[in-house]
Structures are given as structure tokens and as C-alpha cells.
């Protein structure tokens, strides 16, 4: 279990558009939620959705079968791994999360500050 079910930031039945709309409405840097990934893939079960600088970032959360851990984004050497999705959230409430804009090839960073609930 990824430790997501009872969490305020977990939007279980939320699709990408609903998540993005909710974050745009919040309009606060560091607003976030976690939703199930669109393509029901066991290797990428969740997506971290973050609002920063008037943009919404959808960051895949990967499940690493060999270690039974989770990691953010594409696989990279020396990446941080976590025992649960809840640990990722807790970590990035204190440590900045790097946001990569693939279109403009720019990097920003923010902490996870405001939980957005999808109504």
C-alpha cells in the first residue's frame, strides 16, 4: 500500500483535467494533490500535480518493483527513493521539489504547501 487512501491530498477519483482545474482555481504556488495516473500502469500508479508560477505540473510517481519503493519523474541515477507516496509528500513539504518545464526547458522549484481538495 502506498499510504495514500486516508490522506487529504489524495484525490482518488480525479482525472487530469479535474486536477488541473482545481489547482488553477487555488492559484497558490505550492498547491498540490496526488491522483491516480491516467494510464493504469503498475509501474507508474500515481501522479503528483503541482501548481507553481501560474502553471500546473503533472509529475509521474513511479513504483520500483525491485525495491518496492517510489520515485518521482523519469528514472535517473542517484534519485531519491521513498517507501511510500506519503513519504514523498512529507519530504517535499520541507525540501524543494524541482519542477522541469519540458517545453521551455526551464527549472523551478517549490515546496508542497497547500493541499487542494477536489470537490
- The gap from C-alpha 6 to its chain's centroid, in whole angstroms, comes to 16
Which residues touch 77 (CB under 8 Å, ≥6 apart)?
none
Q: In the structure grid, which three cell numbers stand for residue 56, read together?
A: 500546473
Give tens-digit pLDDT for 56-89: 999 999 999 999 999 999 898 889 999 999 999 9
- Return the number of other C-beta atoms located less than 10 Å from residue 114's C-beta: 15
The pTM assigned to this predicted structure is 0.93
Full set of structural domains in the chain with CATH = 16-115 (3.30.505.10)
Amino acid at each position: 500500500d502506498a499510504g495514500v487512501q486516508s490522506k487529504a491530498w489524495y484525490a482518488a477519483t480525479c482525472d487530469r483535467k479535474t486536477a488541473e482545474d482545481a489547482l488553477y482555481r487555488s492559484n497558490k504556488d505550492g498547491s498540490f494533490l496526488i491522483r491516480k495516473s491516467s494510464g493504469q500502469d503498475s509501474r507508474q500508479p500515481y501522479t503528483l500535480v503541482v501548481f507553481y508560477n501560474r502553471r500546473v505540473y503533472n509529475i509521474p510517481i513511479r513504483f520500483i518493483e525491485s525495491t518496492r519503493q517510489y520515485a518521482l519523474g523519469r528514472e535517473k541515477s542517484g534519485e531519491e527513493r521513498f517507501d511510500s507516496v506519503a513519504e514523498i509528500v512529507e519530504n517535499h513539504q520541507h525540501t524543494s521539489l524541482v519542477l522541469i518545464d519540458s517545453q521551455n526547458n526551464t527549472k523551478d522549484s517549490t515546496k508542497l504547501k497547500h493541499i487542494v481538495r477536489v470537490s
